[in-house]
Structures are given as C-alpha cells and as structure tokens.
Amino acid sequence: MSTSFRSRNSVGLLLLFAVAASAAVLCMLVSVTTVPTNNHHRRLTETATPTDDTDQSAGYATTDDFYTPQTHGKALPNSPGIIVNMLRRAKDRVSESDVPFLLQLPHTSSDTIYNILTECYGLEGKKYLQPQELEIAKKENVVDRYYMSSHEKPTERFTSFGKQFHFISTPHYQEGAGLFTFSHKGRIMLMLRHPAVIAESMYLTRPGTVKGDVKGLLNYVNSTDYYDNWMTRMLANIPNNKQVTEEDFIEARKVLENKFLIGMTADMAETIFKRIKIYFGWKELPNKHGCELMHIKKGVMALPPSALVEGGHEWRTITRINRFDMKLYARGMSVFGSQKMRLPIHSLVREEERRVVDGAIEHLRDVKDPRDASDIPFFWHIPKASGTTVKETLSDCYGLVRTEMIKPPSSLEIIGKSNVLNIDLTTRDAVAKAKEVGLVDTGLADVIISQLFEGATWEPTYRSDYNDITLQQYVEMDGYYDNWMVRMLSNAKLGGLNEGHLELAKKILKDKFVVGISDHMDETFRQLEIYYGWKEKREGCVQFHLHSAPSNKNKYPETERGGEVWNLIADKNKFDMALYYFALEVFGDQSEKVFREGKVMQY
C-alpha cells in the first residue's frame, strides 16, 4: 500500500505494524514454508546497491564462453562456437556496451517488437534482411563504429541518423551474431511460437495456397521443399541437407536457455511489460503514452486464426516432423516462465524502484522516534500470517475503526457496529482515490490496513486451475512468485534478487516496523498495547479472539519440517527465510529493549 496518505510518519509489525507520519505499521510474520496447497498466494544504505540482480541459478553456463576448442574441435573465426561467445548470457545484467539484437523471425510477431522499439521507445534500429548485407556490415565493423547506447545517446542527440543505431534486427542468426565483438557483445531477443502454427503460416505465404487447406499443408510439410526443425537447425547451424540429431538439439537447447531473452507470440503483453522493458530499461516516450498497447493489439489482430485442431491428425503429423523444434519450444516456454523471476532488471529500472521505496518510508516513523498524537497505525496485512485475526481483534477488543471495504462501492461510511470504514485499499488505484478524498485527514480511521506496501502490487498467485496440484508442483512451476516479503519491501516485484535486496528489506523492517509473529500472538499483542497505548474494552476479548475464535483459520496438510518439500520451499524462498529469522531477532529485541517493564524503552 502506498504509505504516503499524508506527509507525516508511521511504525510497522510482522504481523506488520508501522508508524507513518500518519501511519504506524504493523506486520505479522509467518514462516514462508507454511504455504497452503490451494491458496497460492539506495537509497537507505550504500550496501543496498546490488552489482548484479541475479540469483545464481542452476542450469546456466558460468561464463559467456561455454563453447571451447576442447569441446567443439578447432574454433574457426566464423564457427558457431566463436559466434555464440559474442552473445552475453541472458542472466547477466545489461551494460551500456551491450548491443540489443532482435532476431526478427517471420510468423512470430517479431515485427511488432521492432515497431514498439522504434515507434514507442524512439530507438533507431539497423535492419539487415539479407545475409549479403550482414557480410558488408561485418567488414565495416558497424558495431564498434556506429553502435550507440539508447540511454547514453538517445535518438534526439544523434547529429544524423546515418549509420548510428541503438539495436540490430535481422532474421539471420549466425550472420547477425557474427557482427558482435569483444567490445560490444550482443543481447539477443527471440519470439517463440508453436512450430505447427509456424508451419501453417509458412505454407500460407506460398502462391496459390488457401487458408484452411490442411490437406495441402500436410503435403507441403511432407515435401522436399519444407524446412523441418528450422529453429534447431538455425541455432545449431545444421544445413537443410543433413538430418538433425539429438546432439544437435542439445546444442541448440543450451544456446537457447543461456543466451536468449525469450518472448512468446501468444503472450505479447507479458513479453513487453515483464521482460523486454525491465531488462533493457526502455520506456515509452513522453508523447507516446499507450503506444505499446496499441501495437500489441494490432499484432494480435494481425495473426490469422489457425485451421489446425490441437491434438488432431494434422497437428500430430506436423509436430512429429518437427519433434526437435517441439522439444525446443517446450524448453523455451519453461525458460520464458522462469526468466520473469530470475533475470536482472536494468539499473535504471532498479533506481526508479528504489526511489519508490525512499518515497514510501519517508511517511513512516522510525520505531524509536517519539510518538505523535497525529500518527495513525498502519497494519501491513501479510496474507496467511494471522492478519484477519489481528483486524477483528483491533476493532472488537479495542474499539478501533479500521479500513476495509466489506460491501461495494468504496466509501467513507462506517459500517454499523463493526467499526469498519468501508473504503477500498486493495489496489494502487484504490489507494490513490483514498488519498484524493483525504482518508487520513477525515480522522475517521483509527487503523489503516492494506496488503500493499510502497504502492506495490504483486503477481497474481491464486488461480482456480491450481486447486488440483500439489504444493511441490506449485512451487516447482516456472514463474513461481518467490520471496514475497523481500520483493515487497525492496519493491523488486520481478527479476532476480541478491543480498542487496535482502539488506534493504532488513533495514526497513528493523527501522520502521513493530514486528509481530503469528506463532507468538500473546506477546505480540502485549507489545502492541504498550506501544500504541491500546486498552481492551472488554476483559478477555483479546484472549478470546486469539485462542477461542481465531478468524480465517483454515486447516491444511502439514509440511514435514526438514522434509523434501519443506527444503524445496525454503530454498526457493531463501531471502524470505533469512528475513523471517532476522524478524524473529527483531521481535525479541523489541520485546526486551522497546516494550520492557510495561512501557516503551530506548531502542
């Protein structure tokens, strides 16, 4: 939630409570290994400046140069081994010397990507359609002579467009990759589409073909004119007159999963907004608002519907002929899913994320700061961490009016005797509207509650089609949203995490939050009563809510502590695990140093 309802201060709890200069933050914490199976849910310090946003993940090569003469024979100047070493690994952060390389393949909506880069972001692209053009460009050494970083020298600063460019585009992989040098290596982007649909699109470009003629399509893919497994052939440099082997596929797969930033034709919005933009640090020009969405819609509409029936005879025949490309496509989809949470975001994007963090915490008091009568507690409601019990206890036992929309539409109406201000704070837009109507200044709310922090949102984690999968299957899914707490506190919603993000989250947690632990609710409420000066309206009310009638308490199968699934979850969420153990220390320290002897002490 945006904590900037008003420019004052707040403190926070794991449960989490914080105090904003108008909000005090409470946050309840629960171990990240207790996830249920069907509810899937720098500015502060120089040390919080990551040098690499990536979490070192298994399956990636450890250097750019994973092709060597020892494994691939004699490496000639234009051999696939030397060429692929001129491409950076996708997992490494983009530098200003790296050259974006759009592999603009037919029938994959790559032209939509090109149009967004040039028309929406104002980039100058150098397009090479023929191999002969690339040969000339290589002799001219165009990359070293004419490449300009889009961030260091945007288009408006070009003296003349001449030969200067921000990115390269070509449908020819081997020749295109051959342009790059040790001074300017390539960053390759690729759009993937189902091989059967690509075969159909290729067929329809031939003279005299008719849309929907699946018999003619089958004749085509069985003819000598058809170029089977073209993606595998392209990446492994296998000519059309040679059979593709399993070894060729393995080589192509290694290149794909290590070197390529992957996009999906079937998911253009995800490709643009959650891959390309944050990876390269590009954004729409000020006068081009909505340009990306316009091109995405045009690109989707330009794709003709397929006449093939998935799983039908024709479909199965085409996929069998392209069996290596099918395996490569499946691997590509997996990499596409995992890259969302593992790729390093661009430093410019991260700087903007940090500015949001700084802006948010300016409105939260430090725990150790003297309380002000105008401060309002802000409860950061972490899902499945006893937050509902806390909310009900605050309203019922202490008579506090809390924010929560329990019946639409959102309003400033206080609902009956429930002590609930019926205002929505579940989305960024809702928070913005609450700020517009002066939620804090009205004085109607005693406690502000939201699952949002810093105005951040997170990836949707509940889907009905997840109900029948196991917890282990869910956690192992590509794109699983890991380390929720660290991501929210550091505002790193996508991409890889590192120790810098964890240290930033720790600092915010310690400085700004009154920490509560869901396994220690009695002590949590003892500390809250001391810190905020709350007193029960009815004796025994808090004990009743905590032990006799806890709210929204669901039973789920227990995960064996130290077992295979437990360890899997802990490993996937290693930064949240570290933050949780740190929060336990903070909880203990606050109990001893802040809330000792029935009063707030020096911290």
Judge if 38 and 149 occupy the same domain: no
The angle formed by the CA atoms of residues 51, 53 and 54, to the nearest 5 degrees, is 120
Q: Is 414 among the domain residues? A: yes
State yes or no: pLDDT of 259 exceeds 90: yes
Q: Last residue of a domain, which of 283, 318, 344?
A: 344
Closest CA to 315 of 217, 223, 208, 207: 217
Task: Between 8 and 483, name the one with better pLDDT.
Answer: 483
Q: Is 588 among the domain residues? A: yes
Instruction: Say what percent of the chain tops pLDDT 90.
Output: 64
Judge if 150 and 275 occupy the same domain: yes
Please, which residues have CB within 8 angstroms of residue 600's CB and are 6 or more apart in sequence? 371, 530, 531, 594
Judge if 439 and 493 occupy the same domain: yes
Asked whether the beta carbons of 500 and 43 are under 8 A apart, the reply is no
Closest CA to 24 of 15, 34, 36, 33: 15
Indicate the pairing of strand 99-103 with strand 23-29: unpaired
Judge if 163 and 231 occupy the same domain: yes
Q: Is 302 among the domain residues? A: yes
Distance CA 581, CA 65 (A): 39
Q: Is 439 among the domain residues? A: yes
Judge if 12 and 78 occupy the same domain: no
Asked whether the beta carbons of 17 and 513 are under 8 A apart, the reply is yes
- In the Cβ-directed half-sphere of 310, how many Cα atoms lie within 13 Å? 3
Reported as a pLDDT band with limits 50, 70 and 90, residue 295 is very high
Residue range 493-511: average pLDDT? 94
Which three-class secondary structure state does DSSP give residue 168?
A: strand
Judge if 236 and 382 occupy the same domain: no
Q: Last residue of a domain, which of 319, 344, 369?
A: 344
Residue range 136-153: average pLDDT? 93
Q: Is 89 among the domain residues? A: yes
- Please give the pLDDT value at position 593: 75
CATH number, position 324: 3.40.50
Which three-class secondary structure state does DSSP give residue 325?
A: helix
Judge if 365 and 340 occupy the same domain: no
Give CA separation, 33 vs 263, 419, 483, 571, in Å.
32, 34, 11, 10
Judge if 394 and 525 occupy the same domain: yes
Q: Last residue of a domain, which of 296, 313, 344?
A: 344
Q: Which long-range contacts (CB under 8 A, 24 or more apart) does 417-421 make?
A: 419/395, 420/395, 421/445
Task: Write out pLDDT tens, residues 299-347.
Answer: 999 998 999 999 999 999 999 999 999 999 999 999 999 999 999 999 9
Structural domain of residue 421, as residue ranges?
8-53+360-598
Q: Which DSSP state fits 447?
A: B
Domain count, the chain: 2
Judge if 101 and 227 occupy the same domain: yes
Judge if 311 and 452 occupy the same domain: no
Closest CA to 64 of 91, 95, 82, 85: 85
Distance CA 230, CA 246 (A): 14
Asked whether the beta carbons of 537 and 398 are under 8 A apart, the reply is yes
Judge if 340 and 366 occupy the same domain: no
Task: Between 72 and 574, name the one with better pLDDT.
Answer: 574
Judge if 19 and 111 occupy the same domain: no
Q: Is 60 among the domain residues? A: no
pTM of the model: 0.80
Q: Is 2 among the domain residues? A: no
- Please give the pLDDT value at position 41: 32
Residue range 18-22: average pLDDT? 48
Distance CA 6, CA 13 (A): 20
Q: Is 62 among the domain residues? A: no
